[in-house]
Chain A
Amino acid sequence: GDSVTQMEGPVTLSEEAFLTINCTYTATGYPSLFWYVQYPGEGLQLLLKATKADDKGSNKGFEATYRKETTSFHLEKGSVQVSDSAVYFCALRRSSASKIIFGSGTRLSIRP
């Protein structure tokens, strides 16, 4: 069945460091891919998405490129801030289904 695998956390970085959170997926067809972020005590917020191969999603300095050949959708940011501390979820949804399948989440902590 469909699945999403993302790197284990927690990830701890210093402010202004470069961030990569790896995400790979298994799915038939051409799913849409998403990154969601969850701040402490809150629900999920859509961070960015990509709906077809080679699409790049971007928002708030975060980017991820839909790589069909490597079935990956890695999240990157050039310079992280303390306010980026949160849990990040990679997710997919197949075009023929409506449910979202989430990865296990990666907790990110940024030190000032």
Chain B
Amino acid sequence: KAGVTQTPRYLIKTRGQQVTLSCSPISGHRSVSWYQQTPGQGLQFLFEYFSETQRNKGNFPGRFSGRQFSNSRSEMNVSTLELGDSALYLCASRPGGTTSSTDTQYFGPGTRLTVL
């Protein structure tokens, strides 16, 4: 079974631009979560989508948004990029359906975003 895939793997943008990152979950997984990883703040939860609905949201400004499509693929968008948005953005999928603590999340390789 193919793992979680993220595209693109690397991205360079300039301040003020916007960016869209894509995530394809493991086949059959309906929940997709996004995390931001930076050296200073570590791994921080952005949001989770399940069946095209945002189910949870972390403490990030409204410039960060996402969506999920009917095939469970997800995109996240960051508008008006700032230097501090430079990070590794990780997507994770799981079967979903409940918030059971036994549900294991599987992570993709991430998209490395650099904002100049």
Contact = CB atoms under 8 A, between A and B. Distances in A.
B42 A98 contact: no
Interface centre among A42, A43, A95, A103 (most CB of B within 10 A): A43
Contact of A51 (B31, B43, B102, B106): B102
A104 B42 contact: yes
A72 B42 CA distance: 20
Contacts of A94: 101
Contacts, number: 58
Contacts of B92: 44, 100
B48 A99 contact: yes
A97 B43 contact: no
A75 B109 CA distance: 23
Contacts of B33: 98-100
Contacts of A32: 101-102
A82 interface: no
Chain B interface category by residue count? 20 to 34
Contacts of B48: 98-99
A2 B45 CA distance: 13
B48 to A, nearest CB: 5
A100 B110 contact: no
B101 A45 contact: no
Contact of B107 (A45, A49, A93, A95): A45
A46 interface: yes
A103 B110 CA distance: 18
A47 B58 CA distance: 24
A70 interface: no
Interface string A94-112: 1111111111110000000
Contacts of A43: 4, 6, 90, 107-110
Interface of A: 31-32, 36, 41-46, 49, 51, 89, 93-105
Interface of B: 4, 6, 31, 33, 35, 42-43, 45, 48, 55-56, 58, 90, 92, 99-110
